[in-house]
Amino acid sequence: MQPYVPYLPWILAIVAVLLLLWLAWRRPNRQRLAWRLVASAVAVISLMLLVFPPTYQQSINPATAILLTDGYNSDTLNTLLQKLQPKPQVYTYQTTAKNAEPVTDLYTFRQRQPQVQAVHVLGYGLDEQDLNALDSLNLIAHQSALPAGVNAVTWPASVKLGEAVTVAGKFNSKSGRQTKLYLQAAGKAQDSVTIKAAGNHTFSLNYIPRQEGRFVYTLFTKSEDRSDTVGQVPVQVQAPQKLAVLLLSASPLFEFKFLKNHLGQLQHKVALRSTVSKGISQNEWINMPQTDLGRITPKLLQQFDIVITEAQALQEFNSSEKAALQRAVNDNGLGVLTIASEQPSDRTTAFFTSFPSKRLSQQETRNARATWANQTTTVPALPYTLTGTETVTGLIGEQGNYLLAASKKAGWGTVALTVIPQTFSWQLEGKQSTYATYWAHLLSAVAKKEEQEKFWQLAKPQAPQVHKPVMLSLTDYTLETQQEAPEATIRSINDTTSVNIALAQTVHQPEVFNGIFWPKQTGWHVVESEDVKPFYFFVQDVKAWPHQAILARQQATQQFVQQQSIKPTTMASTAYTNEPVPIIWFFILFVLSSGFLWLEEKL
C-alpha cells in the first residue's frame, strides 16, 4: 500500500512559504535578508513535517523474529540487531519495550506470522505452555542472568519433633549493600544471616519446632529501612519415630546409662548390654520384652532400628558377629553409630569406623565448638577431627569446616562415627534441651528409615502457587502389574469442596502415577485416595519465591532448545517496512527558525 500523501496541506504550505518570502523581501531593512528567507522557509516546512512526519523504508527479514520476555537485556538486544541483517521484527511478550510490537498470545502470533521460521528469545524465557505454541519453530535462547535476591532455596517438607527445620539456599547480591535474611517462626525472627558483599552467597537458617502440627514460617530480607517478604516455608512437624535402640558398651559407662534413661523416657524401645568382665555382661530392657543379648545374631538385629556402640566393643565382637552386623546394615538398612574414645585403628572394624580424619591437638582431649541445626555449644572432644568428602556427610560440625560427627551410606543402611565421647555432662549441667536435640539429630540421621509402600509426594514445584500447575505423584510399591489409575481427590482444608484429578501411569516407572492440579486458592490442601495416607501441601501467592518461576522458565526454555529438531531456515525474500523519521529534529528546526525570525525583527 502506498503511503498517503497530504497534497492539499502541502500546497497550502507552499503558498505560506511564498507569502513569507515575499514579506521578507519587501522589508526596507535589507540586512540579514538571506537568513530571513531561509528561516521563513525552514519554519513552514518543519511545521509541516511535525504534523505529517515522513517515513523511510527499512529492510526486514520476515523469516526471523526477536521475542523479548521479562528480564531481557537491552545491550543483548542491540548487539543482536547489529548482527542480524536484514534486521528482524522485534516483539514483546509479557513485557514492554520501545519500538517493539506487543504479543498477547503466542498461538495467535503463529497464525498471524506464518512466515516466521526462527525466533530469538531474550530474557528469562518461556514456560512449558507457551513453548508448545512455538513447537514448529527454531528457537535460539539468549537468557539473562538471575536477578538479585534469593535465587535458590530448599527446606524439608516434614520433620520429626525435635529435629531442626533448615532453610538453605543462595542469595545474589549485586549492589553490595548489607542485607539480612530472617527466618520468622512463632511470631518472631528465629535465625538470621547477614550478607555484606556483592556476589553469590550461600545461607542456612534453622529453627527447631516445639510442637507437632502444620506450620507456615516466613523468609524475608531487610536492607537499610526496607523489609521484603521472599516467600513462605510450610513445614509439617510429625511425632518422632518410636525407635528400637540397641546399646552395646565394652564396660559400664555413664554415657550409655544416661542415654538409656533418656531414650526410655521418650518411649523408645531400648536394650543395653554392658560388658562387666570376660563372659559376663549386664543387660537391661526398657519398653520392650527381654531378649537374649549374649550374641549379636541376624535374628537379634532384626528387632532394632539402630545400634549405638563404641569402638572397643566392636573390637571384642567375633568375626561372625561383625559379619552379622555388617549384613544388617547393607541388606536391612540398620544404622550403626560408633562413639569413639580414641582414634580407631583396628582394621577389622573399618567398615564402621573408617572415616577420614585429622589430628588437631597433641593433648588427649580438646575443647571443641560443636554446631548442629541452630545449636552451638562447647564440648570435650578427641584430639582429632573428621573431614567431609563426597561420600561422607557431616552431622555435627565445628570451626574450620571440620566435623565432630559424620555418616556415610553403606548399602541400604548408614554407619556413623562421633569423636564426642561424653554428652551426659549436659544433663548434669541442666542442659536437657541441648542433650535432647543432639541425640534426636543423630538418631534421625542414622536410624533405619520407615518404609512406606504407598505414599503421595509433591513432584514439582517445591512451592506450589495459585493458578499454576502442580504435579503430584502417587507411588505404589505393592503394584505387580499394570492397572487402572486410582482415583484421587484434592480439597482445601479451608472448605469442603473437593476436586478429582486424573492420574496417569508413567511408562518407565509403572509404580508411579502422576497428576496435574490447578489450585484456585492459597493455603493448605490435602490429596486423598483409597488405602493411602493423606498428603498435605501448601499453596502460596504468585508473588512468593520469584526465582522459582524464573528458574522454571529458564529450564523449560533450555530443555526445549536441546530437544527441538532444528530444521534449516529457508531463505525468504527481504521485506520492507515504513519507519517514521524521528520528529525531534523537525521540532528543533522549527524552534530555531521561528525564534530567529522573532529575534531578528526586534534587532
Instruction: Check if the beta carbon of residue 169 is closer than 8 Å to that of residue 154.
Output: yes
- Name the maximum alpha-carbon separation found in the chain: 136
Confidence of residue 154 (pLDDT cuts 50, 70, 90): very high
Burial of 84 (0-12, 13-18, 19+ CB in 10 A): middle
Give 36-62 pLDDT, tens digit per residue.
778 777 877 777 777 777 776 555 567
User: What average pLDDT does this structure show over 477-490?
Assistant: 81
Q: Give the pLDDT of residue 253.
A: 92
Name the β-bridge partners of 205: 167
C-alpha–C-alpha distance, residues 206 and 374, integer Å: 5
Query: What's the pLDDT score for residue 603?
Result: 64
**pLDDT tens track for 399-447:** 878 999 999 999 999 999 999 999 999 999 999 989 998 998 899 899 9
The predicted structure's pLDDT at residue 566: 57
Place of cell 562413639: 339
Cα four-point dihedral sign 516, 518, 524, 530: negative
Whole-number Å distance between alpha carbons of 344 and 353: 6
| Predicted confidence (pLDDT) at residue 4 exceeds the cutoff of 60 | no
pLDDT exceeds cutoff 90 at 541: yes
pLDDT above 80 (res 311): yes
Q: What is the pLDDT of residues 196-247, one digit of tens each?
A: 888 889 998 989 898 999 999 999 998 877 888 999 999 999 988 899 999 9
- Residues ≥6 apart with Cβ < 8 Å to 463: 231, 232, 538, 540, 544, 545, 548
For 478, the 3-state DSSP assignment is coil
State the average pLDDT over residues 167-171.
Answer: 92
How confident is the model at residue 148, as a pLDDT? Answer: 84
CA angle 162, 164, 170 (to 5 degrees): 175
pTM of the model: 0.71
Q: pLDDT, tens digit, for every residue of 275-292? A: 888 778 899 999 999 999
